[in-house]
Structure 1
Amino acid sequence: MDAEERIARGLLYTEDDAAFLSGGRRADLLFEYNRTPPGAVEARTRLLGRILGSVGRNPVIASPLHAAYGSNVHIGDDFYGNVNLTLVDDVEIRIGDGVMIAPSCTLTTTGHPVHPALRHDYNRFSEPIVLADRVWLGSNVVVLPGVTIGYGAVIGAGSVVSKDVPPMVVALGVPCRPVREISDADLDQRQPPR
């Protein structure tokens, strides 16, 4: 089995195995993006289009933005990512429409084996991450490899998400777990400006 197939199946692969992925790294463009003034909206949007695999309409990502590659990240329309967003995108990260991510969040598709004998040559595994439409991640959330977060879910600040989260729930903690459903009663909690 070749390296590409091992990566696709979530099996272990080494740094040498991953060499063929290096063309997807966007380090210089990320550096340029992080040095572009916040008010230069058109320039920043153009740069995001060159850094990320795909970008929907009206993206806003505050600097600094960090990514392992950048090219494996796909964001939908009306995305908001606050400062210190870190995307470890050795494989795909798919983010839907209307997603909001608070400061200092990490989405990592890649992990390492627990046993030290298996960690030679940076041995690792990677599994895709999916954030469905209208997800909101609170500050300092970490999303681990292979996780899907369902439509409209809210992840509480400081959570570590190691398992899938169903749609329309508030989930939080270490490890993150659903604590309640989101319902129409939540429409009365905070009213939009009139």
Structure 2
Amino acid sequence: MGVLENIEPGELYDANYDPDLLRVRKETKIKLHEYNNTSPAEEDKRNQIIKELLGSCTDNFIIEPPFYCDYGSNIHIGENFYANHNLIILDGAKVHIGDNVFLAPNVGIYTAGHPIDVERRLQGLEYAMPVTIGDNVWIGGGVTVIPGVTIGKNTVIAAGSVVIRDIPEGVVAAGNPCKVIRKVTEKDSLTKNYKK
């Protein structure tokens, strides 16, 4: 989808009235409508739709419907990806998600933002900044990730957090705005009530 190559990270572009962007978003919505209305028995069909929609993915992923995105082609997911219901990715810029990433329900990953001043906002202008999520990240339910954020590998983002700045690797982070609470330690592997 060459039309997205014209979007420079952090630069304003016409998101509401550009006919090429509108066309691509409509094509994406048609594919997502088909995906979100498949039977649970149609797993192969679902997987094929996602492979056609996303910029890249492996064979080992699960995205529970409903799933929504703007373009799809800017989304790149790694091995062993799981997203629970109601994932929303606004992918005006690239979204890179590493291996073994798990997303709880109602996660929003937004690369798109709008000008603060009314005049430019009413012109339909927006900007987009890439989002990167490292390997082995767990993101809890209802988390919002805003444009330009990087979440480091082996990190946990607690439910309900709003991630407005980069989060380092190997930590537990929570809150609005999301802040590091502590490092992930060996003690965390001693989960109660787990039986082999």
- TM-score, normalised to structure 2's length? 0.90
1:106 alignment partner AA: G
1:12 alignment partner AA: L
After superposition, the C-alpha distances for 1:114-144 in whole angstroms (9 at most, x for unaligned) are 1212212221110000111111110000000
- Are 2:15 and 1:15 aligned? yes
Matches within 5 A, 1:149-160: 149-160=151-162
| Distance change in 2, residues 1:134/1:19 (3 Å) | farther
1:110 alignment partner AA: A
Q: Which moved more, 1:144-153 or 1:18-27?
A: 18-27
Gaps of 5+ in 2: none
3-state SS of 1:91 partner: coil
Q: CA deviation at 1:20?
A: 3.9
After superposition, the C-alpha distances for 1:141-162 in whole angstroms (9 at most, x for unaligned) are 0000000100011101110001
Name which of 135, 138, 142 aligns with 2:137.
Answer: 135
Aligned-partner Cα distance in 1 for 2:142–2:5: 33
2:88 alignment partner AA: T
2:7 alignment partner AA: I
2:120 alignment partner AA: L
The residue aligned with 1:102 is 104
| Distance change in 2, residues 1:117/1:145 (3 Å) | same
- TM-score, normalised to structure 1's length? 0.91
Q: CA deviation at 1:43?
A: 1.4
Q: CA deviation at 1:18?
A: 4.9
Aligned-partner Cα distance in 2 for 1:94–1:63: 20
| Distance change in 2, residues 1:179/1:55 (3 Å) | same
Aligned length: 192
Gaps of 5+ in 1: none
